[in-house]
Amino acid sequence: MQATARQDETRSPRYYRIYQALLSEIQHGDLKPGDVLPSEMNIAQSHGVAPGTARKAVDMLVDRGWVERQHGKGTFVRRADFSHSLARFFRLTDREGVQLHPKSELLEIRALEGAAEICRQLEVPEKSELIEIERVRRVDEVPLLHEMIYLPSARFLPLLSLPTKEWGDLLYPLYEQLCGEVVFRATDTLSAGPAPAGPAHYLGQAPGSQVIEITRLARGYDERPLEWRLSRGRLDLFHYSFDIR
Amino acid sequence: MQATARQDETRSPRYYRIYQALLSEIQHGDLKPGDVLPSEMNIAQSHGVAPGTARKAVDMLVDRGWVERQHGKGTFVRRADFSHSLARFFRLTDREGVQLHPKSELLEIRALEGAAEICRQLEVPEKSELIEIERVRRVDEVPLLHEMIYLPSARFLPLLSLPTKEWGDLLYPLYEQLCGEVVFRATDTLSAGPAPAGPAHYLGQAPGSQVIEITRLARGYDERPLEWRLSRGRLDLFHYSFDIR
DNA sequence: GAGTGGTCTAGACCACATG
DNA sequence: ATGTGGTCTAGACCACTCA
């Protein structure tokens, strides 16, 4: 037997519309990281399709990194793991070649009127109030990165009242626990340029010397920008490798 | 009805074994870039499985970038396209934001005894004879990259007798036409370091100034190393962007 | 019209996880 | 024992390409 109504409505395949429906639930937060999806049989019945068709929709979510299957248990919305994400740009490994995590030191946090370019990146009105965070990240006391981080004040206010001692090495878990904002993906851009006096000082370089610049725009599940940061790092330790094709 | 023998032999799924069989044909050159695969019905019959199972094997080849489907025509082995691959590291676009292709100038080509490290990368015996190619790549007369390229002599001899005038902008098509060696994938590694006098001169920088270093190891369909290159580029034009998670 | 890939059905049995 | 995902069958019709 063949489906009675085939190319009605959107003219896209049924598995694709199911994929979109599930993705939209994830992006709108109806399905949160760690949540279990309905079973494939369940999805099939509720959408009135054969199990194989529902499975293909879930396949797409898996391929695109939104969910993870666990045999015998279910399919779960993935939680992002950025813990190695900036360190991976540097040639810093232990004897066994394992990437080392840098330690963070909070230098300063304050609210200020956002610069035009940063507001544009964060998709907030010009001159909106932003939170600025300045950090240094070190591995074995070797300064690796100087970071300037900008967040829309409105959504990150609880950070301003967090005692300095309670800032850990990772910011994203903090965003999640204190502010309920979850970073799902980010775009990193590599570049190079002269270091201003402040960053240069913390990196142990002469002011104006060339450093690697990594800018990041981080987004939530709904694709809204959450964070913009500019990290400057030592060129002599910089190293990054990847496959093409 | 169910397959009579299920977990005999390798204990891996049938679609996976079919995938491996097809991949091995591609990697051994029985199926060359541009060749058409057997039809899915054909694959199913010759392996004694249902069409859906054969299709899943082909799905895997598609997902991993080995082949490309063309509706109504067939499934074809992909040909790599590296034409934008090095230019993508630089901030060089036309008014419409389209990446510009650099023009190549051949500076020198010669055969020599390979340095230990380069022989190791190319997986040939130490002190093997290598072909060394020195190039400059420019966009609108602006020098962008200085390149030192190393190839195992044994497999690339025809290059030594090619007149300078016949070297084009792209090397990989040359490798294929003259030497029958096809580059399928490569690993690029980004780093930075001081430029020796030669490269610095061609980039219009002071000797010893910091430049971006891109090393590449290119491999054929059978995963054998074909080419190792060290490209040095201007830091002030360097720019690279990518998504994580 | 014949052949190809693209979508979909309606089942089956297997392997894993949990109560 | 029950429910989950993982593999597989044996078909169907649709959409596209080419002779």
Q: What is the pLDDT of residues A163-209, one digit of tens each?
A: 988 998 999 999 999 999 989 889 999 999 999 999 999 999 999 99
User: For helices B40-47 and B51-63, what crossing angle results, to 10°?
Assistant: 120
Number of Cβ atoms within 10 Å of the Cβ of B209: 13
Q: Is pLDDT above 90 for A1?
A: no
Number of Cβ atoms within 10 Å of the Cβ of A178: 15
Nucleotide nearest to B38 (CA to C1'): C4
The C-alpha of B192 sits at a distance from chain A's nearest C-alpha, in angstroms, of 6
Contact present, A190 and A239 (Cβ < 8 Å): no
Side chain identity, residue B70: Q
Of residues B178, B149, B169, B164, the one with CA closest to residue B83: B169
Is there a single domain that holds both residue B110 and residue B66?
Answer: no
The C-alpha of A186 sits at a distance from chain B's nearest C-alpha, in angstroms, of 6
Å from B73 (CA) to C10 (C1')? Answer: 30
CB contact under 8 A, B188 and A242: yes
Q: Is pLDDT above 90 for B245?
A: no
Is there a single domain that holds both residue A30 and residue A71?
Answer: yes
Q: For residue A114, what are the contacts with CB-CB under 8 A and spacing of at least 6?
A: A122, A124, A126, A127, A128, A129, A130, A150
Å from A103 (CA) to D19 (C1')? Answer: 68
For A98-166, the DSSP string reads PBPPPEEEEEEEEEEEPPHHHHHHHT--TT-EEEEEEEEEEETTEEEEEEEEEEEHHHHGGGGGS-GGG
CB contact under 8 A, A235 and B185: no
Contact present, A191 and B239 (Cβ < 8 Å): yes
Note whether residue B242 is domain-resident: no
Q: Tokens 């142990």 identify what position?
A: A204
Q: ∠ at Cα A96 (A94, A100), nearest 5°?
A: 30
Structure tokens at A58: 């879930």
Q: What is the pLDDT of residues A130-151, one digit of tens each?
A: 999 999 999 888 999 999 999 9
pLDDT at residue A10 in the model: 53
Count CA atoms closer than 13 A to A208's CA, side-chain side: 0
pLDDT at residue B140 in the model: 86
pLDDT at residue B4 in the model: 35
Note whether residue B243 is domain-resident: no
Contact present, B71 and B219 (Cβ < 8 Å): no
CB contact under 8 A, A190 and B238: yes
Cα dist. B122→A94, A240, B25, B181, B229 in Å? 26, 20, 24, 14, 10
Q: Tokens 């979850």 identify what position?
A: A182
- CATH classification at residue A98: 3.40.1410.10
Return d(Cα A101, Cα A87) in angstroms, integer: 6
pLDDT at residue B85 in the model: 82
For residue A63, the chain B residues in CB contact (below 8 A) are 63
Contact present, B119 and B76 (Cβ < 8 Å): no
Residue from B56, B190, B227 whose CB has the most chain A CBs within 10 Å, to mutate: B190
Nearest protein residue to the C1' atom of C16, measured from CA: A72
For residue A240, the chain B residues in CB contact (below 8 A) are 189-191
Q: Tokens 């249902």 identify what position?
A: B50
Contact present, B213 and B232 (Cβ < 8 Å): yes
Q: What is the pLDDT of residues B176-227, one digit of tens each?
A: 999 999 898 899 999 999 999 999 999 999 999 999 999 999 998 888 999 9
Higher-confidence residue of B10 and B207: namely B207
For residue A192, the chain B residues in CB contact (below 8 A) are 192, 210, 212, 235-236, 238
Q: Which domain holds residue A26?
A: 2-77
Number of domains in chain A: 2
DSSP type of residue B97: -
Return d(Cα B160, Cα B227) in angstroms, integer: 15
pLDDT at residue B100 in the model: 79
**Residue B215 bridge partners (DSSP):** B189, B230
Note whether residue B94 is domain-resident: yes
Q: What is the pLDDT of residues B103-157, one digit of tens each?
A: 999 999 999 999 999 999 999 999 999 999 999 999 888 999 999 999 999 999 9
pLDDT at residue B8 in the model: 41
For residue A244, the chain B residues in CB contact (below 8 A) are 82, 85, 185-188
Q: What is the pLDDT of residues A53-110, one digit of tens each?
A: 999 999 999 999 999 999 999 999 998 888 878 888 887 777 777 778 889 999 999 9
Number of helices (H) and strands (E) in chain B: give both, helices first. 7, 9
Nearest protein residue to the C1' atom of C5, measured from CA: B71
H-assigned helices in chain B: 14-27, 40-47, 51-63, 116-122, 153-156, 172-179, 197-203
Protein-proximal nucleotides of chain C (any atom < 7 Å from a CB): 3-18
- CATH classification at residue A20: 1.10.10.10
pLDDT at residue A8 in the model: 42
Cα dist. B72→B32, B39, B65, B69, B75 in Å? 21, 11, 20, 9, 9
Note whether residue A242 is domain-resident: no
Is there a single domain that holds both residue A29 and residue A48?
Answer: yes
Structure tokens at A4: 């009675």
pLDDT at residue A2 in the model: 36
Return d(Cα B5, Cα B227) in angstroms, integer: 45
Is there a single domain that holds both residue A106 and residue A201?
Answer: yes
Å from A40 (CA) to D10 (C1')? Answer: 22
Is there a single domain that holds both residue A24 and residue A134?
Answer: no
pLDDT at residue B113 in the model: 97
Instruction: Say if A217 is an interface residue toward chain B (CB within 8 Å).
Output: no
Note whether residue B244 is domain-resident: no
Is there a single domain that holds both residue B98 and residue B215?
Answer: yes
Note whether residue A232 is domain-resident: yes
Is there a single domain that holds both residue A44 and residue A115?
Answer: no
Q: Is pLDDT above 70 for B3?
A: no
Q: For residue B137, what are the contacts with CB-CB under 8 A and spacing of at least 6?
A: B86, B102, B103, B104, B105, B143, B144, B145, B146, B147
pTM of this prediction?
A: 0.85
Q: Closest-CA residue in chain B for A221?
A: B245
Cα dist. A84→A87, A144, A170, A238 in Å? 5, 14, 10, 15
Give the torsion through C-alpha atoms of A208, B198, B190, B176, to 10 deg: 150
Q: What is the pLDDT of residues A19-61, one digit of tens each?
A: 999 999 998 889 988 999 999 999 999 999 999 999 999 999 9
Structure tokens at B28: 């051994």
Is there a single domain that holds both residue B131 and residue B229?
Answer: yes
Cβ of residue B11 near strand C, that is under 7 Å?
no
Is there a single domain that holds both residue B125 and residue B218?
Answer: yes
For residue B242, the chain A residues in CB contact (below 8 A) are 187-189
CB contact under 8 A, A245 and B192: no
Contact present, A122 and A150 (Cβ < 8 Å): yes
Q: Is pLDDT above 80 for B7?
A: no
Instruction: Say if A71 is an interface residue toward chain B (CB within 8 Å).
Output: no
Q: Is pLDDT above 50 for B68?
A: yes
Q: Last residue of a domain, which of B52, B77, B102?
A: B77
CA A203 to chain centroid: 25
Return d(Cα A6, Cα A14) in angstroms, integer: 9
Q: Last residue of a domain, which of B58, B77, B96?
A: B77
**Residue A99 bridge partners (DSSP):** A93
Is there a single domain that holds both residue A224 and residue A206?
Answer: yes
For residue A242, the chain B residues in CB contact (below 8 A) are 187-188
Is there a single domain that holds both residue B6 and residue B53?
Answer: yes
Structure tokens at B39: 């039809």
pLDDT at residue B10 in the model: 54
Note whether residue A243 is domain-resident: no
Instruction: Say if A210 is an interface residue toward chain B (CB within 8 Å).
Output: yes
Q: Last residue of a domain, which of B25, B53, B77?
A: B77
Element holding A56 (H helix, E strand): helix A51-63
Q: What is the pLDDT of residues B224-244, one digit of tens each?
A: 999 999 999 999 889 998 888
Cβ of residue A74 near strand C, that is under 7 Å?
no
Note whether residue B245 is domain-resident: no
Is there a single domain that holds both residue A55 and residue A149?
Answer: no
Higher-confidence residue of B9 and B242: namely B242
Higher-confidence residue of A96 and B37: namely B37
